[in-house]
Chain A
Amino acid sequence: MKCEEFKANLNELVFEKLAATDKREDAMSHAALCADCALLLTETQDVQTALQSTARADIETAHPRVRAALLTAFAQQHAATVTPVVDMATHRRRTRITLAIMSAAAVILMVAVLRPVILKMTSAPTPQVDSVAEKTTAPQPTATVATAVPPTSSFNSKPLPFVSHAKPLPHVAVHESRAVATSIPRQTTSTKHTNEYFPLTYLASATAMESGTVVRVQLSRAALISLGVPLSIDRTERVLNADVIMGDDGVARAIRVVD
């Protein structure tokens, strides 16, 4: 073994107990012959011992005043952040709103998922659909919306009869402002009393559509409120019929309550 090799293996030899016995023996026999390497070995072993002694002597801790200060700070912080008491009425209201939001989200998701399937099924003209579907011929210049609204049924139970392919619309833009939303035509053909459409306010700029479909759904009052329909906050569990305008992209644009 040469001095360079010895020096390269020195740390491993001293600190990590060089595993290979023959290599170790080589190093030791070299140290026995080379005075410089022997000195280096001794010094390195001394450093190892000194480091171990230093580690053992490392027992200092922070002054007790640090602990006292921290405990005081902890007490103060906790006194400042006492959890506010929530009364039961508030809790119930929050629960109701949360449930409403969740159910609305579920409905929207379901509509978005089922729409392509429904469109596929309705692409072949069926007499039933044709007979049920009505095209709005209202003289509004901006748009026409095709509807297929049977009087008594829900979207979930019988999806096919409620939906018809929409006739292409020139342009229907539903904006976030509710005032602008009134430009969407009223459904004059429905036998039931209907209200104004309300844009679904979570939509940003992607509200323009070439054509669309009106889908009759049943939603709880709570869900409708969460979608922005102005209803009083009582009997939120009651289910109402509602029309949803769906764009060809499957995204709901506007909603109205059918009383």
Chain B
Amino acid sequence: MTTPVSDEQLLLSMLSGNAEAFAELYDRRHGAIYRYALRMTGSEATAEDITQDVFLELMRDAQNFDETRGPLQAYIFGMARHRVLRRLQTGRNFVSLEEESGDEVMETNFTSASDPFMDFQREEIVGLVRQAVLSLPANFREVIVLCEFQELNYVDAARLIDCPVGTIRSRLNRARGMLVNKLRALQQSEVSSVEMKQA
């Protein structure tokens, strides 16, 4: 049984000009980067831009990576985070997830033969959650995206954000509390809009 090639080995191979190694590294890591950027900015186009930027920089300055400071995955995430924060600071690329891809996503991504109603309901909830997460302040949104969606543990998230673990924990607590309130408000507004349509 062969051991899988590590990210760092792929990077070395990539540095020597191996395009397959680069492709493998991209296939392995781009999904998480893209989704992180998407959940943080709410824009598919921006998320694609950020993903492309990150891998272009990796291509150009891969020799800057220092293995002693952490794994390559964290390094790549750090680059993505830097870009996301820069975009959020400019504020131009903040697009509501609902505006960009509301019904279309529901129609295309969720198909199941088992129970279409349940699937629809689940998708509705997912849409609401994404909308609620996107409306959180950036620092609270970030911990939700990293710890809940990307499933990073507190230590890794703290290292990435460069803050104490306690800060991650407290931000998560507050963010969850905010989500409860926001989801409640979103659900109420949906109910009232349905009632208005029926009336």
The answer to whether A and B belong to the same complex is: yes
* Given known A-B contacts A44-B180, A61-B34, A69-B52, A11 and B172 have beta carbons under 8 A apart: yes
* Contact of A55 (CB < 8 Å), options: B123, B151, B184: B151
Q: Indicate if A71 sits at the interface (CB-CB under 8 A).
A: yes
Q: Give A174 to B144 CA distance when docked, in angstroms.
A: 67
Binds B, one of A45-53, A122-130, A147-155: A45-53
**Interface code A57-77, partner B: CB below 8 Å = 1, 0 otherwise?**
111111100110111011101
Contact A77 B148 (CB under 8 A): no
Q: Indicate if B155 sits at the interface (CB-CB under 8 A).
A: no
Q: Give A22 to B16 CA distance when docked, in angstroms.
A: 60
Q: Indicate if A232 sits at the interface (CB-CB under 8 A).
A: no
Binds A, one of B71-79, B88-96, B124-132, B189-197: B124-132
Q: Indicate if B19 sits at the interface (CB-CB under 8 A).
A: yes
Interface residues on A, range: 20 to 34
CB contacts (< 8 Å) of A71 on chain B: these are: 19, 22-23
* Given known A-B contacts A11-B172, A77-B60, A60 and B52 have beta carbons under 8 A apart: no
Contact A61 B30 (CB under 8 A): yes
Q: Give A62 to B23 CA distance when docked, in angstroms.
A: 14
Q: Give A40 to B184 CA distance when docked, in angstroms.
A: 10
Contact B176 A54 (CB under 8 A): no
Q: Give A218 to B179 CA distance when docked, in angstroms.
A: 79
* Contact of B126 (CB < 8 Å), options: A54, A62, A66: A54
* Given known A-B contacts A67-B26, A70-B56, A73-B56, A62 and B129 have beta carbons under 8 A apart: no
Contact B34 A75 (CB under 8 A): no
Contact B19 A66 (CB under 8 A): no
CB contacts (< 8 Å) of A67 on chain B: these are: 23, 26-27, 30
- Shortest CB-to-CB span from A40 to chain B, Å, is 7
CB contacts (< 8 Å) of A15 on chain B: these are: 172, 176
Contact A77 B51 (CB under 8 A): no
CB contacts (< 8 Å) of B34 on chain A: these are: 60-62
Q: Indicate if A92 sits at the interface (CB-CB under 8 A).
A: no
Contact B48 A11 (CB under 8 A): no
Q: Give A76 to B131 CA distance when docked, in angstroms.
A: 40
Chain B: CB-nearest residue to A52: B148
Q: Indicate if A43 sits at the interface (CB-CB under 8 A).
A: yes
- Shortest CB-to-CB span from A71 to chain B, Å, is 6
Contact A46 B183 (CB under 8 A): yes
Q: Can you list 9 residue pairs at the A/B interface with Cβ under 8 Å?
A: A11-B172, A15-B172, A51-B129, A57-B109, A60-B34, A62-B31, A73-B59, A74-B19, A74-B22
Listed from nearest, the 7 A-B pairs whose CB atoms lie closest are A62-B34, A54-B129, A11-B173, A78-B17, A50-B129, A51-B148, A61-B31
Interface positions of B (Cβ within 8 A of A):
14, 17, 19, 22-23, 26-27, 30-31, 34-35, 38-39, 47-48, 51-52, 55-56, 59-60, 109-110, 122-123, 125-126, 128-130, 133, 144, 148-149, 151, 172-173, 176-177, 179-180, 183-184
